[in-house]
Every structure is written in C-alpha cells, then in structure tokens.
Structure 1
C-alpha cells in the first residue's frame, strides 16, 4: 500500500514514488544540459533517447591571408568620360542625368535608346558621336522640339542648348570643325561662329523640304552626269528588279555620280554595297522624272509614287568575290 507524503508544491500532493522519478529525471536533464558524463568532456555525449551523438567539431583559427579580396570594379562609361574630362585639364565633369529617363521623356522607347547606345552616343568626347547626332536631327528632325526652317537650317546655339546635346559639352567651334572635316560634305553652314551660326544637312532628309530652298539644283541636261548609279545589296535585289528603287523613309531615291573608289565620288553610296544599278537618266528624264543635284554631288529623284521603275536600269553590276571586282550581269526588264 503506497504511503502518501504531503508535499506542498503549487497546491498539489505528490506520491513519494513520483518524487523519486522526478528527482532522477532532473538529474538526467542536468547532465545533458552541461554535456558532462563521468567527467570526460571530450568523450561522445549521449543524447535524449539513448542515441549516440556527433563528436564536437574543433574550429580552426581563420587565416585572413586566404580570404579573396573584393572583385575589381570595371570602369563604367561615365567614369571613363570623367577621367577623359579631367585628363584634358577641365576639372570635374558635370553630373549627368539618366540617359534612359531623358530619352523616354522625349517619347523614345527603350529599344530606340538601346540602339542609340550601340551607335556610340555615350562617348561624349567624340566628334563622331556629335556628328551622328547632328545628322539624326537635321535629316530626320529628331528630337522634334528643335526648330528647323523651310530651308533645312537650324541655329547651332539652340541645338547645343538642347538637353540631348548638352551631354557632348560641345561649342559652336566644335560644330564648325566637324563640318569642315567631314569628307562626305554632309553639312552646310550659314553665318559665322558666334553670330547667327546655322547648319543644315545637304541631303538624306526623311521630311519634305522645298527643293530649291534646301540647296538642291534641278538637272536640266540629261547628259550632265555620264554615270549615275545606285548601290544596294544582294538580299534586296530580288525585290528591286520587280518593284524598282523605292525611296523608303527618305524624301528621294539617292544616286551617286560614279563607282566606289573613284576620287570624284564623295557621297551617295555605301562602300559596302555588293550590287550597283546603272541608271539610264536620259530615258527617265524623257519620261518626265525630275532629278536634282545636291551641293555634295548626290543625285536625287522622287520617282513615280516614290519609286524609280526597273525599266530605267541600264546595267547591273554585282561584286565578284573571287575576282574582287564588279562584273556586269544580264538583266532584261519585263513589263
């Protein structure tokens, strides 16, 4: 018969057998908490449930010499521009705003902004980048908020004050140097630096201007230019021989007054073209097509409904990759 011993603990009565079990459990818990079992701290310690535990992990001192340093940060475009600015002795470069935000505020998409980045617009110290930006403005009216008159002229002072051109840190003298050093004569200027200085593109416009006012001269003598050619590429030839030469987004179809490499040819055809179309200009003028000559000797024609028919093609020359020269190929226009 169990003997009941009154023990006051939280207003409860506990049996002596329960007291023994409780004491034994508390002793076991204390042993587990301290990690000591018969005085050997390096022995494997038993865990609850009688399962064998893992050995203690011995930590080694950290060798700071083996820790790799931080990665070397690549120089960004803005840092290169700043370094270039400082190397020229002009002090600290002004802080620029986000190009992406600036282009989006002008209605440009991210895709257009990325294309402009591929075209080297980020190189602020480059005259090539400024020249490309001037071509885009004067030929295509982008950005649209810079005024261009009916003759195609824009004031250089207004151009350089625009937020898109402020990134170049250019002066009117820099623009004047670009015009004078351009081997293709893409620009014309009016006035002098610092006094009513204006600039326009000689040809290549995608918007309509008055021909005579924009510096174009109407050609009246069909034999004035013995050779008139248009350069294109093999992948375009199949469509051209059926539909003719289209002006696409331009105001005119462009022709050169000679072949690639000839000294008197300054513009009108890319030097990477592998197909050259020789135009029969006397025949085209006899049928009523009007041709204009720009100041840099590029021949321009509106065509009929924006195209010059293949019936005016006199000869076709394709680049021979084995002989490294253009060779004439047979072409017969079929109505």
Structure 2
C-alpha cells in the first residue's frame, strides 16, 4: 500500500470507522533513521488506533524504529515480510525475508525488547522455493518463539522471480484454507487473514476460522465499505450516515493541510473512491482530476465536485459494497 495509505487517506477512513485498526504505508528503517523522521512519522491524533508498518531486517535498526513508533504515539508496530517488489528485495526487506525465518525472529526479538507496543508480523504463506506447509510452519514457530503473538497472513505465496508486484497481488492462487489451518494448529496465536477480501459476507466467513480480517485495496478503492464496520463487527453505531457527511468531516483537515503548503492534488487523489458506483460519482472524480492540480486550488474544488453527486440516504449492505 505504498503511497496509498497515507495520512490523507487514513483521515478519511477514520471518519468512516472509529474502531478499525489502520496501518501506515510501509516505511523503511533506513528512511526513518537517515531521512526526515518527523515527516515519515507525522500523523493526526484522530487516526488512532494506528499501527506503524516497518520494512527492514537489521535488528538494531528495527529496535530503534520500534522505539520511535512508541515515542510518536502509534498503537502497534508491524514488520512487513510480504512486500514482493524488487527494490525492497535488494535491501533484504519484505517477502524475501520469508527465506530467513531466523533473521526475522532476531529482528522481532529486538523490537519487542525496545518497545512496550505490540509487535506484529505481516507475511505471505510462502515464496517461490519455500512454499510448503512445513516451510510456513517453520516460519511461524521461529518468529513466535521470538515473542510475536500476532501474524497477519496474506493467503498467497509471493513469486520473487518472474512476477511483478502487481501480478503478485493477483496471480498466485489464494489459499485461505492454509490460514485456517494455521489458526487450528497454533490456537494460542492471533491469526489475521488478508488477501482478496471484498465483502462483509466474506469477512464473516473468515472470522469463523481466524481471529481477524485485514482489508487492503478494497478498502482503498471503495472506502465507503468501512462505514459499516463499526455496526457490523463492533456493535457500535455508524459514525456517519452518508458519503457526503464523511467528506464534509474531512474538509477542515484538508484546509489545515493546504495551509501547511500541501498541494490539493496530493490530498484529493485519496478521496476518489468515496462515491464509487454512485450516481454522479464519475463526475465527482472527473471534476477533481481536471481542477485539483491547478495553482491555488482549494476546498472549493472538493465542494464543487461533491455538489455533482446527489445526496440519497446511504445504507451499508453487502449488495451495496459489491456494486460500489
């Protein structure tokens, strides 16, 4: 979710669900240690609960960044062992680490020693060359032996040779049953399932076998899905009743960002999916696309775009989610 789950998207997501745990985009340890640390860790307090996702493999660097996560107020620190891109592989980051469970365990152990925050791991069910059930169990056992209790499992292998990152999100087949088997084999661990999940009906089915569900691209492209989460899974009322109300709640935040010198187009691109599948939704996206990049563009662009969408009463149902 690099360049997707930025603070600008997360602020919108939080208007739609008060209880969903949100994750940052992956930030490498090198960027945090040698780059502009405050810029990479900047977030709004309204985004909580919020987890910082790290990319890295050096135990000392991971420990340092885990301590930074606590210092900056995050609620969890997560190690990414699932990203398949060539760029991160070359730095021993992401899915390639599944071939080195001892190294992951060493990093997790160092992170746990450096922070009181929960330390979690997001990973694949395997990679090319290490894609057997026994390989997966070895990974889980070594990393849990280092103290990790929560595993977020993308139910696909990552093919590091021959597939692009985009293809790795779709081509390897989903094996949800493997994640179910992990929970059955390791009932003392928290096992959260991820990969290709789009509807509440699918979430309910997965929750029969696992402890939680992570949504990625579906929640980004169709953020209104999140508006039903609090009532469906947490027994709490919906925080907003319409897409328009959600967007209006984001306007003061957008103005604050504009006042900081952020270009509107850098913010508005994360709003494009809010009216997906709705009458006027295409006009909403087109107006923003044609105007947000212009010099001096401000809130009036968002307001004019929103005016192109009628305000029917929204209801969050599985059918609405699928069609959106």
TM norm. shorter chain > 0.5? no
> TM-score of the superposition, structure 2-length normalised?
0.27
Name the one with the larger helix percent: 2
Q: Which has the higher contact order (CA 8 A, sep 6+)?
A: 2
Q: TM-score, length-normalised on structure 1?
A: 0.26
For the pair shown, which has the larger CA radius of gyration, 1 or 2?
A: 1
